[in-house]
Amino acid sequence: METILICDDERDIVSALNIYLRAEGWKTVCAYSGKEALEIAATQNIQLILMDIMMPEMDGITAMTEIRKTSNVPVILLTAKSEDSDKILGLNVGADDYITKPFSPAEVVARVRSQLRRYLRLGAAEADDPNVLTVGSIALDMKARSATLDGVPVPLTPIEYEILSLLMHNAGTVFPPRDIYQAVWKANPIGSENTVAVHIRHLREKLEINPQEPRHIKVVWGQGYKLEKP
């Protein structure tokens, strides 16, 4: 049974999250300020922390920085700020993921599950399989021509598999739709570049918790697509 620390100065939000996470079968601990969160994190066995950034006494960023000194427990930041700079700051300081307010319960649960899986799986790291290519939370089994997301198998069509494989082998590189088409279909895309975009979207829907805000397969508008390096 994993324990999740929920930390927000807004009690209603904490209790709502509490309800959702408990409903999923996780144990929860609540804190209402950064300081409290620090104390709990130091004394209890916590597997994941959900933390708001803007809190009195000690804000989420500071608290997380403190926690990071001793633990690598996954931290998901809750933020009302939607600016990119805030997200980047959070991720740079050591957050594993972030959720912008107002969030939907389903997204929170999905992200928590994803982070827990990674964290726990990482603890029982599987033996390196030369046939398995892992980028972030996505693992590609080249032998079985299948993929898993945080250990959960993701059903892919052959085309989707080929695209994902291409992107994963070149993680961080932007591929124009044309190149993807040529690599996957082995033909020139005459008037069918849209096809690539459609398949990518499908792939995103399967791999992303919130396809509108992809964390893995990113669209570089006007240039192409890439798989984000972890």
Partner 1 sequence: MARKNVHSPVFRGLSVVLSILFMWGFGLSLLLVFMNISIGFADNDEDFRQAFLEQTFRKESADLESYIGAYLQKDHDDSDQYLISMQKQYAPDNTNFRFAVMDPEGNLLMSNDPDYSDKTPMMVSNISRLPVLLDSQQYPVQKSFENPISAYSEIINGDIPHLLDHPEEFDVWYFTDDDVQNAHKNGLNVRVYSEPVSDYEFFKTEEEAEAFDYSTKYSDLAEWEILAANASSPALNQLPETGQTGVPAETVKRSDADKVVVFVQGYKSVEQLHVTLEEYYDRKVVGEPIVAADAELENKLMNSLDITIRGRRNTYLESRLLIYLPTQLEVQDSIRANYTVYHSLFRHGELSVIIMFVCLILTVISCIVMCTAVDPADKNGRNRVSRVHSIFYELFWLLPVALLVLSALTIDLLYYQDCSYRMIVIFCAGMVLTIAASCVLWLYTTAIRAKMGTFWSSFGTYRFFRFVLSLFSNAPGSTFATIAFAIILFVLNGVVVPSMTHSGLGRTDKIIMFLILVLDLLGLLFLTYCIYAYFELHKLVKKMETGDFEPAEHTVPLAGDFGRFDRSLNEITDRVGEIVARQTKAEHLRTELITNVSHDLKTPLTSIVNYVDLLSREPMQTETASEYLEVLQRQAARLKKLTIDLVDASKASTGNLTVELVPTDIRVLLSQLAGEYEEQLSARDLMLMQNLPAESITILADGRQIWRVFDNLLNNACKYALPGTRVYLDVKCDGETVEITMKNISATPLNISADALMERFVRGDASRHTEGSGLGLSIAKDLTALQNGVLDLKTDGDLFKAILRFPVYHVPEEPAEEAAEPETPPAE
Q: Is 103 in the site for partner 1 (CB under 8 A)?
A: yes
Instruction: List residues bridging with 148 in a β-sheet.
Output: 139, 153
**Residue placing its CB nearer to partner 1 in the complex, 72 or 157:** 157
Backbone torsions φ then ψ of 53, nearest 5 degrees: -85, -50
Cα–Cα nearest to 180, from 198, 154, 155, 206: 198
- Pick the piece of the chain touching partner 1 (CB under 8 A) from 28-36, 42-50, 119-127, 187-195: 187-195
Q: Is 183 in the site for partner 1 (CB under 8 A)?
A: no
Tell me which amino acid residue 26 is. Answer: W
- Pick the piece of the chain touching partner 1 (CB under 8 A) from 10-18, 56-64, 65-73, 122-130: 10-18
Q: Applying CB under 8 A, which of residues 56, 105, 151, 153 lies at the interface with partner 1?
A: 105
Kindly state the smallest distance separating residue 182's Cβ from partner 1, in Å: 14
Sites for partner 1 among residues 126-165 (CB under 8 A): none
- Total residues at interface with partner 1 (CB under 8 A): 34
Q: Is 42 in the site for partner 1 (CB under 8 A)?
A: no
The binding track of 161-180 with respect to partner 1, each residue x by CB under 8 A or -, is ---------------xxx--
Count Cβ atoms within 10 A of the Cβ of residue 222 and give its class: 0-12 exposed, 13-18 middle, 19 or more buried.
Answer: exposed
Q: Is 88 in the site for partner 1 (CB under 8 A)?
A: no
Q: Applying CB under 8 A, which of residues 42, 88, 91, 197 lies at the interface with partner 1?
A: 197
1, 50, 119, 152 from 47: Cα distances, Å: 9, 10, 8, 19
70, 171, 216 from 224: Cα distances, Å: 40, 13, 14
Backbone torsions φ then ψ of 11, nearest 5 degrees: -65, -35
**Residue placing its CB nearer to partner 1 in the complex, 126 or 213:** 213
Helix 158-169 × helix 193-207 angle, to 10°: 80
Tell me which amino acid residue 94 is. Answer: G
Write out the residues near partner 1 by the rule CB under 8 A.
10, 12-13, 16-17, 19-20, 54, 80-82, 101-105, 176-178, 193-201, 219-224
